[in-house]
A and B are shown apart, each in its own frame.
Chain A
Amino acid sequence: MATVFFTTGLRRYTGGRDRVVIEARSFRELVTALEARFPGLREPLEGIAVAIDGEIVQEPLLEPIQPGSEVHFLPRISGG
């Protein structure tokens, strides 16, 4: 079970909820589970980066998620 946090921008898909606890062992599973719970959430998560326990992963598709992890969605940043 991981705790997933939603930025204010994503909360319109989650009925205002700022976090949810979800069962998932990988990012791919997480997105599927989130879409099932909050239809329409998959689309804004396309091309997004993710921070799992503070560590930012730019391309998280196959990223494993440990139980008890904190997951935040972030825009991809590349810098200058």
Chain B
Amino acid sequence: MAKIHVEASVNGEPVEFLCEPRASLLEVLRDELGLTGTKEGCATGECGACSVILDGRLVCSCLVLGVEMEGRSVQTIEGIASAERLHPLQQKFLEHAAVQCGICTPGLIVAAKALLDHNPDPSEEEVRFGLAGNLCRCTGYDKIVRAVLDAAAEMRGQT
């Protein structure tokens, strides 16, 4: 089957590419657009390592087709920091030692950002359930939850 031409916006920049109909958004990001920050952990939507924000909504990019990007905007881990400055979430993850091997970190930061975009003052329980779609095997989530709560407080101007 012939490849399909897609135009979309990724991290605020217009992109265009050709993709196979069967290609997932994850494959497009990594293989076509060279954005390897988004990771594949399972390809079946169960680990969250491939989390991106599609038109403001948190999705597993392995469950979205590349062709579904047409006319839409995607934010990936590469678009979280502004030029030369880390996002508070990224900074707090570092300060709290919430990053060990780091494979889940991009997905978690994106998911945490999506959470805080909708709920700027979450409780610990809300953070835990908000991040329940992201598996981490190294940290036991403790420091991740602390980092997200701390980032949320800073973003509300409360630290």
Q: Do chains A and B touch in the complex (CB under 8 A)?
A: no
Residues of A within 8 A of B (CB): none
Residues of B within 8 A of A (CB): none
